């Protein structure tokens, strides 16, 4: 029997903050509390957004918090051949198509959940005189249901909600949706535990899995950490990077956010003692759901 395999896949666009620590901790506890493996993958495809030194900072922070991964770190930048093979297959099998539209042309359709729906201009072949810029996945009208272990059922109809989406950008960079699906499959991931800001991406990832004949892992989307004004904590909202001190107090806060109830007596213990308690007492069913971001 294949055991549980979880993963944490940060983008090295900056140091980890409280929101990313919650995702790291939640995925770590969910995998390890079941005796499974927990892998670390660095989503470093989007080179223009990679911040120098961020990878070392991420690794140091995880180590400081006692979140030790199994095996070697996987870098998406080393996986380009696999992505290229999948794109060749998707195009040959009719699941993907070349798109010659400029950004502006592609955004001229009606509104969807994450911006305008692609108007379908190149769906049946590139119009005369056009050259391919990006590659898109051809979506269908069949509803895609995510049965999320925390958020419940979440459904999208990709044709109405998202549209034919980009799997390789005009700058040649493979899109997050495709790379993530291929890497989760390559690493044998059985449970994807991550922030609920990615719930609306999941139907696109399932559509790619279906096209490639890949297994769909279990999905569990954790509540996104927000500040007092309700804004998601992230680099763009000025979230302060985690500090390598008071580790247990910061973990304690994350556990509370995840609906776990560490006793107050554990507030000032060592990080390893608090992690030990967390592994013994982890319960996914106590993690609170989050408000929906589009979809149904």
Q: Which residues bind ligand GLU (CB under 6 A)?
A: 9-11, 43, 180, 194, 198
Q: What is the smallest separation between the CB atom of 28 and ligand GLU, expressed in angstroms?
A: 13
Specify the DSSP element, H or E, that contains 129: none
Residue holding tokens 């493979």? 174
Alpha carbon distances (Å) from 185 to 118, 175, 239: 28, 16, 32
Alpha carbon distances (Å) from 52 to 48, 180, 249: 11, 22, 29
* Residue among 11 and 260 whose Cβ is closer to ligand GLU: 11
Q: What is the smallest separation between the CB atom of 195 and ligand GLU, expressed in angstroms?
A: 7
**Residues near 293 by beta carbon (within 8 Å), at least 6 away in sequence:** 113, 196, 197, 199, 200
Q: What is the smallest separation between the CB atom of 160 and ligand GLU, expressed in angstroms?
A: 24
Q: What are phi and psi of 181, to 5 degrees?
A: -60, -45
End-to-end CA distance of the chain: 35
| Tokens, residue 291 | 């408000």
Q: Which runs of E-coded beta strand occur in the chain?
A: 5-8, 37-42, 74-75, 96-99, 111-112, 115-116, 134-137, 144-148, 152-156, 165-168, 191-195, 218-222
Task: Say which DSSP state 207 is in.
Answer: H
- CA 15 from chain centre, in angstroms, equals 17
Q: With contact defined as beta carbons under 8 Å apart, do 255 and 278 qualify?
A: yes
* Residue among 91 and 169 whose Cβ is closer to ligand GLU: 169
* Residue among 122 and 224 whose Cβ is closer to ligand GLU: 224
Q: What is the smallest separation between the CB atom of 129 and ligand GLU, expressed in angstroms?
A: 37
* Residue among 164 and 183 whose Cβ is closer to ligand GLU: 183
Q: What is the smallest separation between the CB atom of 76 and ligand GLU, expressed in angstroms?
A: 9
Q: What is the smallest separation between the CB atom of 227 and ligand GLU, expressed in angstroms?
A: 18
* Residue among 98 and 114 whose Cβ is closer to ligand GLU: 114
* Residue among 19 and 262 whose Cβ is closer to ligand GLU: 19
Q: What is the smallest separation between the CB atom of 232 and ligand GLU, expressed in angstroms?
A: 11
* Residue among 9 and 86 whose Cβ is closer to ligand GLU: 9
């Amino acid at each position: 029997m294949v055991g549980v395999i979880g993963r944490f896949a940060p983008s090295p666009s900056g140091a980890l903050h409280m929101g990313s620590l919650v995702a790291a901790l939640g995925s770590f506890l969910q995998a390890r509390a079941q005796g499974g493996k927990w892998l670390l993958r660095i989503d470093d495809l989007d080179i223009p957004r990679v911040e120098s030194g961020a990878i070392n900072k991420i690794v140091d922070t995880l180590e400081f918090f006692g979140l030790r991964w199994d095996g070697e770190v996987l870098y998406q930048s080393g996986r380009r051949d696999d992505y290229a093979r999948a794109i060749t297959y998707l195009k040959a099998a009719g699941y993907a198509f070349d798109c010659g539209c400029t950004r502006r042309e592609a955004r001229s359709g009606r509104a969807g959940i994450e911006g305008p729906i692609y108007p379908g201009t190149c769906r049946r072949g590139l119009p005369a005189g056009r050259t391919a810029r990006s590659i898109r996945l051809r979506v269908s009208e069949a509803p895609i249901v995510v049965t999320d272990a925390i958020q419940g059922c979440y459904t999208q109809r990709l044709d109405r909600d998202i549209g034919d989406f980009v799997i390789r950008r005009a700058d040649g960079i493979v899109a997050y949706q495709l790379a993530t699906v291929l890497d989760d499959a390559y690493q044998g991931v059985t449970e994807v535990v991550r922030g609920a800001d990615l719930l609306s991406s999941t139907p696109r990832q399932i559509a790619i899995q279906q096209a490639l004949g890949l297994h769909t892992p279990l999905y569990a989307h954790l509540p996104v950490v927000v500040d007092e004004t309700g804004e998601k904590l992230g680099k763009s909202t000025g979230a302060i990077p985690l500090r390598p001190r008071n580790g247990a107090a910061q973990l304690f806060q994350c556990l509370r956010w995840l609906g776990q109830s560490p006793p107050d007596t554990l507030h000032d213990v060592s990080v390893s003692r608090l992690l030990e308690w967390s592994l013994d007492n982890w319960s996914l069913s106590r993690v609170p759901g989050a408000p929906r971001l589009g979809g149904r």
